Structure 1
Amino acid sequence: MTEKQKKLFELQLKIRTKLGRRISRRWLRRRRGWSLVARAEAYLRRSGWKTGKRRLGSCLIRMAWICQSLTCWIHRIWQKQNTRSGRRNLHHMAVFNQKTLYDAYKKRTKNIEVDMDAYNRAKETDPEFYREASSLQYGVAEPNIDRMVNELKERDEKRKAFSRRRKFNEDKDVDSINDRNEHFNKKIERAFGKYTLEIKNNLERGTALPD
C-alpha cells in the first residue's frame, strides 16, 4: 500500500468510528427513554392510576351530558318566556335587526299583485328587458310608480294609526285627570322638571309657605 492509500484507509476508519459512536449514543438514549416509559407505565399500572383515570373520564362525560341537557332545558324556558303567540317580543333596538326588517319586507310584498302574463309578454317583446350598460332605456313604467305610491300612502296611514301600548306604572303618583292631561304633564315635566323639583319638594314638606 502506498502512503496515499494508507492515509485514505485511516480517514475511513476515523469516519466509521465517529459514525459508530454517534449511532451507539442515539441507540442508548432511545433505549434509556424506552426503559423510563416502560417503568412509568408499570408504576402507574401498579398504583391503579389508569383505573382512576377511566373513572374520571366517565364522570366528565356524564357531567358534559348533564350540562348539555340543562342548557337545552334553560333555552326552552327562555324561548317560552320570550315568545307570545308564536312571535318573539320586540324590545328596544331589536326592532331594527335583520330578521324583523326581512319579515317587514315580506309583509309588504305579500300584498303586491304580480301579473305573470304581462311579465312574460314584456320579456318576449322588449329586446332590452334585461338592460345592459349600453342600454338607453331609463326609468320605471307609470303603473308601477302609481302602485308604489299607493303602497307608501297605505304604509303612512298605518303608521299614523299605530299607537304603542305603554306599561302602566302603579307606583307612580297620579297628577292628571285624563289621558290627555297626563300626556301634557309629561311634556311639561320634560321641559321644566329640573327647575320645579325643589318647589315640589318644598310643597310636600310644607316649607314653601311662610309661618
Structure 2
Amino acid sequence: MEKQGNVYPDCINASNPYHDCVDYCLKKIAEAKQKLAESEELSTKDPPEERTVHPDCINASNPYHECSEFCFKRIADAKHQIQKDISEEDDSANGQHVQDDAEAGYPHLNEKQKKLFELRLKLNEARKANQMAMVAEKKKMEGPSESRGISKQKWLEERKKKIGKLLDSNGLDMSKAYMLDTQESAEVKYKKWEKEPAPYGWDVFNQKTLYNAYKKRTKNMEIDMEAYNKAKEADPEFYRDASSLQYGKVSKVPEENIDRMVKELKDREANRKSFSRRRKFHEEKDIDSINDRNEHFNKKIERAFGKYTLEIKNNLERGTALPD
C-alpha cells in the first residue's frame, strides 16, 4: 500500500484534496481488508441456490448469508453515519481552511482554485441541509409508536381475525363463534350473566333469605377459634338444652366479645339510617298529573319555566289572580 502525499489510496476520503490520513484511517482500512479476507474464505464454499442479499450489506460476499430486517437497518445506519462523518470532516477541514485562507486572503490559490473552493463549501452546506431534511421527513413519515404496548382496538381486531380463521377452517361463520368456547370458559361466561332475583313479597322473611342475611352480617366478624375451643372444653354444658340444671343462667362472656357485638349493632344502625330507597312517588307531594307520562312532562315544564311562572302559580293557588 503506497502512500500518495498525506493520503492512502485505499482511504474512503482519498478523493478529498484537503484530507490528511491519520491513525483512524489506517484502522478503518485494516478492518475493511480483514472483512474482505473473511468474505473471500466463505466464498470458496458452495452457495445456496436462492437467497436474499442486499448489495450494500457487509456480508454480501458471504454466499450463505441471507439478509434480514436487522441487516437493512444496519445498512441504513451505516450510510447515515458515513455521510455524517464525511460532512463533519469536510466541515472541520473546510472551516479550518476558510479561516486560514480568509486571514491570508487565499495567497496560495489562483482564481479557479478559489472558485472551486467556494463551490465545495456550498456543496457541503447543501449536503448537510439535505441530510437534515431527509431525517426530518423520515420521522414525519413514520407513525408514532405505541407507548404502552398494543392498543385494545388492535388487539380486538387481531383476535377477531384469529377466531374467523378458526371458524373458516371448521366450516362455520361468525354467528357460531360460541362453539369454540371450552367448558371452563363457557361456565365462567354464564356465571357472570346469572343474577339471583331479589326477594319479593313474603319471601323476604323466609328461612333462606334470613339465613343469607345472617351470613352477610357475620361475614366480616372476627372469630377466635382458639378461645372458643378453650371455653367449650372448660364448660361441659357449653351447649345447653331444656333439661339442663343450668338452663337460664348466663355464661361468662369476655368483654372484647361484648364490645365487638355492640360495634356491629351500631354499624348496622348507621347503615340503616344512611340507606335511602328510591320511591316511585311521595305521598306528601301534591298530585298534579293524571298518569306517569303526564307527570314526566310536567317535570320537564317545571324545570324549564318554573322560575318564570312561580308568581302566577302562587296567585292562582291563593285566588288573588282572579278578577274582582
The two structures have a TM-score, normalised by structure 2, of 0.26
Q: Which is bigger in relative contact order (C-alpha 8 A, separation at least 6)? A: 2
Q: Which is higher, the Rg of structure 1 or of structure 2?
A: 2
| Higher share in helix | 1
